[in-house]
Amino acid sequence: MTMLEWIRRHVVLTRVALAAVLANIVIVVTGGAVRLTGSGLGCPTWPSCTKGSLTPTREYAIHGIIEFTNRQLTFVLSAVVLATLALALLQRRQRGLAVLLAASIPAQAVLGGITVLTKLNPWLVAAHFLLSMAIIAVAFALWWRLQHEPAPRLRHEPVPRAADRPGWAGSLRGAALVLVLLTAAVLAIGAVVTGSGPHAGDKGATRRIDLTPSSVTQLHADVVMLLIGVTIGFAVLARAAGAPERLQRAARILLGVELAQGVIGFVQYFTHVPALLVGIHMLGACLVWVSALWVFAATGSVVTGSVAGTPAHWHEAVDGGATPGRWDRSGSTAATPSLTRQHGRR
Ligand code: HEM
What ligand 1 atom has the least distance to the C-alpha of 284? 5
Q: Which amino acid is at 138?
A: V
> What is the pLDDT confidence band of residue 251, given thresholds at 50, 70 and 90?
very high
pLDDT in tens, 133-144: 999 999 999 999
Q: Quick one: how far is CA 147 from the chain centroid?
A: 16
- What is d(CA 175, CA 243) in angstroms, rounded to the nearest whole number? 14
Domain positions in the chain: 1-149, 167-308
pLDDT at 265: 98
Q: Which amino acid is at 100?
A: L
pLDDT in tens, 281-316: 999 999 999 999 999 999 986 544 433 333 333 333
At 53, is the secondary structure helix, strand, or coil? strand
What ligand 1 atom has the least distance to the C-alpha of 225? 27
Residues with CB under 6 Å of ligand 1 are 32, 129, 186-187, 190-191, 193-194, 197, 199, 217, 220-221, 224, 227, 258, 261-262, 265-266, 268-269, 273, 278, 281-282, 285, 288
Give the residues across from 57 on adjacent strands.
Answer: none
